[in-house]
Structure 1
C-alpha cells in the first residue's frame, strides 16, 4: 500500500473529524479513502460526458487575491462563446460566489471549468453537466422570425 501525506487547514481537519464521527470511521485513512473514491467516481461520470452539453460552473474565491479578478474575467472573455450567463454573489468581506451557465462542447466546457477552479484564490469549485443536443432553427416567436439555438436535454 502506498502512503500519501497531505496538509490541511485546521478547519478542514475539524470538518473531517466531524464527518468521521457522524459516519463512525475509526481512522482518518479510511475516511479519506472513501471520500476520494466518491470524488473519483464523480470525476469519471463527469469525464464520460461528450458532445454538446449545458453545465453550471460554481466557485468561491477570495476577491483580495492578487490579480485573481482580472484572471477570472480574462478567462470568461476567452470563452465567451460558451458562456450563457453569470451570477456574482458577495458572501462576506473576502469571499465571492460565482455561478456560470455554460453551453457547448463538453470537452471545451470541462477545460474552461478546470482553468477557473485551478486558479490560485479559488477555494471551492464544481461543475455539473447535462448532456444535450443543440439545434439552430428559424421559427416564429410572435411576429418575429429568427434563428437561434435550442438545447434539448438527452434522456
Structure 2
C-alpha cells in the first residue's frame, strides 16, 4: 500500500469528517479510497464505454400507468441476456421501486437502461455501472445440491467470471 499526504483547508476537512462519520467510515483513508475509486470509475466509463460491466438500474414507477408494468417486463424479456435479476418493492398504493441487476456489454447495458427509464411513467431512474474484465471462460463440474431431474449427475457448466476493475 502506498502512502500519500494531502493538505486541505480546515473548513473542508471538518465537512469531510462530518461526511465520513455519517457514512460510517472508520477513518479518512477509507473514505478517500472510495472517493478516488468512484471518480476513476466514472472517468473510465466516460472514456471507454466499450467492454463489459455489471450494473444496477433502479427506478420508481406508478403501477397504475397504462400497461407500464407489462412494457417494463417485456423490455426485460427482450434483453434476457442482460437481465440477471429484478427486485420489485411496493412503496405505496401507487408507486413501485424496481432494481434490475444487469451484466453484459457496457453499450448494451446503457441502451437497455435508457430505454427502461424513457418509458412513460418511469421516474427517478439511476444506473450504477461497474466496469469488469472477463476472466476467461472455463468449465466446472457442479454437483446439484437441490432436487433436480439430473441430481445424480455432475454436469459440466461453462461460465465466465466478471472481475471488477480496480
Give the TM-score band, short-chain normalised.
Answer: 0.5 to 0.7
Cα displacement string for residues 22-47 of structure 1 (whole angstroms, at most 9, x for unaligned residues): xxxxxxxxxxxxxxxxxxxx987754
Q: Does residue 137 of the first structure (1) align with residue 148 of the second (2)?
A: no
State the shift of 1:133 in Å.
Answer: 1.6
Structure 1, unaligned stretches of length 5 or more? Answer: 1-41
Q: Distance in 2 between matches of 1:82 and 1:130?
A: 14
Q: Please give the root-mean-square deviation of Cα atoms over the aligned residues, in Å.
A: 2.1
Aligned equivalent of 1:52:
52
Aligned equivalent of 2:66:
66
Question: Residues 61 and 96 of structure 2 are in contact (CA less than 8 Å); yes or no, is this contact kept in structure 1?
Answer: yes
Q: Give the number of aligned pairs.
A: 114
Cα 1:45/1:125, change in 2 over 3 Å:
farther
State the shift of 1:139 in Å.
Answer: 2.4
Tell me the SS of whatever aligns to 1:136. strand
Tell me the SS of whatever aligns to 2:88. strand
Tell me the SS of whatever aligns to 2:109. helix
